Homo-oligomer: A and B are copies of this chain.
Amino acid sequence: MTGQPGAWRSAITDADAESIRIRGYDVTALMAGASFADVLFLLHRGELPSPAERRLLDAMLISFADHGPGSPSAMAARTAATGNRRGLEAAVAAGLLAIGDAHGGAGYACMELIAEGVAQVHGGRCPPTEAAERIVERFVAARERLPGLGHRTHPVDPRADALFALARELGVAGEGVTFIEALRDASAARIKPLPINVDGASAAVLFDLGFPPPAAKLLFIVGRTAGLTAHVHEELTRERPMRVKVAVEYDGPAPRQLPGS
């Protein structure tokens, strides 16, 4: 229908009494002949992926899926579950809410840098190395850390290498991968050597697959729900309510009286 006042426009899914069509494909046809990664790609991009695109998306989702109970998202989900044992959706949502600038959000920021750098290269103004150096100088001046490089627990992030290997094998690595490698090298020369992490690698590959920057965070979220749901289930089946505790060291004001009492 068209032109109904107040209607919400959407080009994603059309549902009527008889059928549900995602980007034009009947959901039952997709159920019979597609994988979840196919449909996720379709939802975000409007078309089904090629086999190479599907494999890379699967690999990225797997790389995002879990990092154990000590990552902030899993820890927040399990902490919520310890107090709210009937709200499965609440515990998973609490986990998602720990995903931000410092955890799972570097891919988005990194993809914006890649888009900026590649745009400069395309504008004919400079080779990737120069564009990368300029960005590194800006981060040095602002005393900020470059997103996509280094990892607090992995000296080398095994997921990044695996993703690049797959992208090269499938012939998908392009300007995004080239640019983040230039960024890594420029950063190593100017600041200190740090390998590309999973956020940086997936940002580069998503760029080469044609995704826009917010997709880096949105697809991380989709992948991580796999792990978060497993952690919530493990918490509820293995642990007792309110078991999550933390040792507290209070260092505020000593006991005192209310004025006038």
Among the listed B4, B162, B215, B248, which residue makes an inter-chain contact with A10, where contact means beta carbons less than 8 Å apart? B248
Q: Which residues of B contact A152 (CB under 8 A)?
A: 242
Chain A to chain B: the 6 pairs with minimum beta-carbon distance, closest first: A84-B100, A83-B103, A11-B252, A24-B253, A72-B83, A102-B241
Sampled A-B contacts (29; CB under 8 Å): A6-B247, A9-B248, A10-B69, A10-B248, A13-B69, A13-B250, A13-B252, A14-B252, A15-B70, A18-B154, A20-B66, A20-B68, A20-B159, A22-B65, A24-B252, A27-B62, A27-B63, A28-B162, A31-B62, A31-B166, A35-B35, A44-B233, A46-B253, A70-B246, A72-B242, A76-B76, A83-B104, A84-B89, A222-B229
Task: Tell me the complex Cα distance, A226–B91, Å.
Answer: 18
Are the C-beta atoms of B59 and A234 separated by less than 8 Å? no
Task: Tell me the complex Cα distance, A85–B256, Å.
Answer: 33
Task: Tell me the complex Cα distance, A43–B178, Å.
Answer: 34
Task: Tell me the complex Cα distance, A159–B154, Å.
Answer: 43
Are the C-beta atoms of B20 and A223 separated by less than 8 Å? no
Are the C-beta atoms of B83 and A58 separated by less than 8 Å? no
Task: Tell me the complex Cα distance, A3–B247, Å.
Answer: 10
Contact with B along A237-261 (1 / 0, CB 8 A): 1100110111111111111111111
Q: Which residues of B contact A35 (CB under 8 A)?
A: 35-37, 58
Are the C-beta atoms of B44 and A248 separated by less than 8 Å? no
Identify the closest chain B residue to A240 (Cβ): B102
Are the C-beta atoms of B248 and A68 separated by less than 8 Å? yes
Are the C-beta atoms of B250 and A10 separated by less than 8 Å? yes
Contact with B along A24-49 (1 / 0, CB 8 A): 11111111111111011001101010
A12-B66, A18-B156, A36-B58 known; 19 new pairs, CB 8 Å cut-off, are: A7-B248, A8-B70, A12-B68, A13-B66, A15-B70, A20-B158, A22-B65, A27-B65, A30-B258, A34-B62, A39-B62, A44-B233, A70-B245, A70-B248, A82-B98, A88-B218, A93-B96, A215-B233, A218-B232
Does chain B have a CB within 8 A of A92? yes
Identify the closest chain B residue to A237 (Cβ): B212
Does chain B have a CB within 8 A of A67? yes
Cβ < 8 Å to B, chain A residues 151-168:
152-156, 158-159, 161-163, 165-166
Are the C-beta atoms of A10 and B90 separated by less than 8 Å? no
Q: Tell whether A69 pairs with B246 under 8 Å between CB atoms, given A29-B258, A103-B83.
A: yes
